Amino acid sequence: MTHKPMLIAVLSMSSLALAAPGASQSAQVKRGEYLVSFGGCHDCHTPKKMGPQGPELDTTRLLAGHPEEMPVTPAPTLQGPWMAATVGTMTAWSGPWGISYTANLTPDRETGLGAWSEQNFVDTMRTGRHMGRGRPILPPMPWQMVGKLTDQDLKAVFAYLRTLPAVKNRVPQPLPPAASTASAEPAPPK
């Protein structure tokens, strides 16, 4: 009888030890989810739909980027102090850089981040280049600020993104300034 409490204690410690990796991973994912929510990632990477209280997240396409099937007409020509414009989903942006479409951050290999490693993601946020080596990331993605996160936090964000349902959504390629803006001049008569 006297050994019973000790046996229970040992078993409990064993259970904790066995559960530790999973618990740690879960904590990392939760941390990532927290950072993604607070960091405003959904603002641009999750399409919005109109609800009774105004625009709300389309939860069927969490962080899946600009919907490929959504037609985007040429952006309006902005004047005076106005510099940028966006569409109702907030997934396409126009400015001096042209038109940029927010990326699909879900783990789909063909159209999302499925081919990316954790290091690719960290390198991207640190350098402002795709996978840390490719083309420059365009505005309004605030990679300079996200890149201030610690390695641990960036890895947590990536771990959370890995848990999202993979959405097959091939986001359009960005457009350079000349091709993206509607002419301010009226169309010539035909």
Partner 1 sequence: MARFLAFLLTSAVLAPAARAASPLPVHLRDTGLYAPGRGEEIATDVLPFTPQYALWSDGAEKRRWIRLPRGTQIDARDPDRWVFPVGTRLWKEFTLGRRLETRMLERTRDGWRFAAYVWTEDGSDAVLAPPTGVSVPIPSGGRWAIPGTGDCRACHEGQPNPVLGFTALQLSSDRDPGAPHAPTAHAEVHLEDLLQRGLLRGLPSSLRSTPPRIATDSADERAALGYLNVNCGICHNRHGPLAGIGLDLLQNLSEGQASVERTQASAVAVRALRPVGGAEVRLVPGQPEHSVLFRRMGARDPLDQMPPLGTQRPDPEALALVERWIHSLSNRRTP
Q: Is 176 in the site for partner 1 (CB under 8 A)?
A: yes
- C-beta of 110: minimal distance to partner 1 in Å? 7
Q: Closer CB to partner 1, residue 49 or residue 148? A: 148
Q: Is the peptide bond before 140 cis (omega within 30 degrees of 0)?
A: yes
Phi, psi of 161, deg, nearest 5: -60, -35
Give residue 7's identity as a one-letter amino acid code: L
* Listed ranges 3-11, 66-74, 87-95, 125-133: which one lies at the site for partner 1 (CB under 8 A): 125-133
**Three-state DSSP class for 59?**
helix
Residue recorded with tokens 């004047």: 79
* Listed ranges 14-22, 50-58, 87-95, 129-137: which one lies at the site for partner 1 (CB under 8 A): 129-137
Q: Is 173 in the site for partner 1 (CB under 8 A)?
A: yes
- Burial (CB < 10 A; 0-12, 13-18, 19+), residue 104, is buried
Q: Is 68 in the site for partner 1 (CB under 8 A)?
A: no
In sequence order, which residues have a C-beta less than 8 Å from that of residue 60 and are 6 or more positions away? none
Q: Is 177 in the site for partner 1 (CB under 8 A)?
A: no
Q: Is 134 in the site for partner 1 (CB under 8 A)?
A: yes
Q: Which is nearest to 137 in space by CA: 174, 178, 83, 180?
A: 174
| Max CA distance (Å), the chain | 100
Site for partner 1 in 104-123 (CB under 8 A): 110, 115-117, 119-120, 123
Q: Closer CB to partner 1, residue 49 or residue 109? A: 109
Q: What is d(CA 162, CA 165) in angstroms, rounded to the nearest whole number?
A: 8
For CA atoms 143, 149, 150, 153, give the dihedral sign: negative
4-33 footprint of partner 1 as x/- string (CB under 8 A): ------------------------------
- C-beta of 68: minimal distance to partner 1 in Å? 12
Cα 21 from chain centre: 26
Q: Closer CB to partner 1, residue 108 or residue 153? A: 108
Q: Is 88 in the site for partner 1 (CB under 8 A)?
A: no
Chain contacts with partner 1 (rule: CB under 8 A): 110, 115-117, 119-120, 123, 126-127, 129, 131-136, 173-174, 176
